[in-house]
Amino acid sequence: LVACAPRYVFHQLQPRKVERVEPVGTCYLAKKNMQEFHDLSPCRTAYWGYHRQGSCQAGFSAALTKDGSRVFIGAPGSYYWQGQIYSFSLNDPKDKVYKTLEDTKKEDDSYLGYSSTTGDFNGDGTQGVAVGKPRGAQLLGKVLIYSWNMTNQQNITGEQIGAYFGYSLAAVDVDGDRLDDLIIGAPMYTEPNNEGKYETGRVYIMYQGSVPSGRFRELDTRDGVNSKARFGLAVCSLGDLNLDGYGDFAVGAPYDGPNGRGAVYIFYGSRTGPLAKASQVIQAEDLSVGTRLSTFGFAVSGGIDLDGNQYPDMVVGAYESDKTFVFKARPVAAMEASTLFGTERKLIALDERNCTVVQTQKLVACTVLHS
């Protein structure tokens, strides 16, 4: 388990008694059934100041590999908010820490590390990381894919200025080909040529191509409906909810719904990608919590069986209401049908008319079937 505090402030007394107070951020890693804890704070370095790593806000995003051997930590405030991503080995604390480096001035204020998710993104059998850079590419937004040792493998650029493409990320095998696909949130997406539709939000489904190239190919999109809904502000993998062999995912829209109080959309996967319409929509108004609920869907997480019934569950956050909700998946009934002949011969002799039709009293050929 990893939990982060990106606004953690580091206090240090510098030479000449100048106190250093900077939001470097930090993450805490729990291992061995919450019996062992480690502090991961990559920006507590001599590179102080917002022009270097003093405002890096490490832990703004974090992602563990599936086998728990490595954690990636995003720090979008490094180097005039160019941002960084760090790769830590969890098997050997003394192992080298890999990281991205400072870029050119044109990458200032681009926020690399704003979001992150892990997966096998090039078909080599090892877990890499996809990292959001929502103000990159001259505000079009960008998602960068790295190997575990921070080798850049592919970049994906958004299509609309200011949409915040890459604000949220999730890895899901949505079409059942055993390759990790990417769900990319762009919550500030605005419907073109429609002044009444703004910040509706959009998610992009990027399909991973077949190995060995592993390049991401044609995409699908799913759009929000209401203005200011910010559909796609949060996305997460839900595992396979309905046991059909395809990955499912959830999309948070924290300002959606009839009263702008938030909603979560659940999409089932299929052979051709996610279904066109959400399989389920949960709105803030559907919940009886005793108080007015708001920002429902600001955070979503899933894919873990919390109650031990063999089905993955989902957790939804509503930060303005200081509440978190656990939604438990319902069991799916799997039915199998079979038909058997009631005789060993398994043939119908058409000349043996031993059965009578009740309405007409006509003799007909027949046999016995069990199903």
Domains, the chain, in order of start with CATH, read: 2-337 (2.130.10.130), 338-370 (no CATH)
With cut-offs at 50, 70 and 90, classify the pLDDT of residue 214.
low
Residue 133 or residue 177, greater confidence? 133
Q: How far apart are CA 141 and CA 125, in angstroms?
A: 28
Using pLDDT thresholds of 50, 70 and 90, give the confidence band for residue 334.
confident
Start-to-end Cα distance in the chain:
49
The pLDDT assigned to 212 comes to 60
Six token digits for residue 86: 């760090």
Identity (one letter) of the amino acid at 179? Answer: L
Measure the CA–CA gap between 155 and 138, rounded to whole angstroms: 14
- Region label for 186, one of left (φ > 0), alpha (ψ between -120 and 50) or beta (otherwise): beta
Q: Is the pLDDT of residue 192 over 70?
A: yes
Distance separating alpha carbons of residues 80 and 356, to the nearest angstrom? 89
Measured in degrees and rounded to the nearest 5, phi and psi for residue 10 equal: -100, 125
- Give the pLDDT score at 61: 96
The C-alpha angle with vertex 108 and arms to 39 and 217, in degrees rounded to 5, equals 85
CA-wise closest residue to 283 among 268, 266, 306 = 266
Task: Name beta bridge partners: 355.
Answer: 364
Q: Is 6 helix (H, G, I), strand (E, B) or coil?
A: coil
The residue written with tokens 């003799």 in the block is: 363
Q: Which residues lie across from 239 on neighbouring strands?
A: 248
Question: How does residue 87 score in pLDDT terms, banded at 50, 70 and 90?
Answer: very high
Considering the chain, what percentage of its residues have pLDDT values greater than 90? 65
* Secondary structure of residue 16 in the 3-state scheme: helix
Q: Which two tokens stand for residue 249?
A: 């995912």
Span 107-135, average pLDDT:
94
What 8-state DSSP symbol labels residue 285?
G
Output the six-digit token pair for 169.
Answer: 């990320």
More confident residue, 211 or 116: 116
Report the alpha-carbon distance of residue 44 to residue 93 in Å, rounded.
17
Scored b (16 or more CB within 10 A) or e, 316-331 reads bbbeebebebebebee
pLDDT for 31-86, tens place per residue? 888 888 888 999 988 888 888 998 999 999 999 999 889 999 999 999 999 999 99
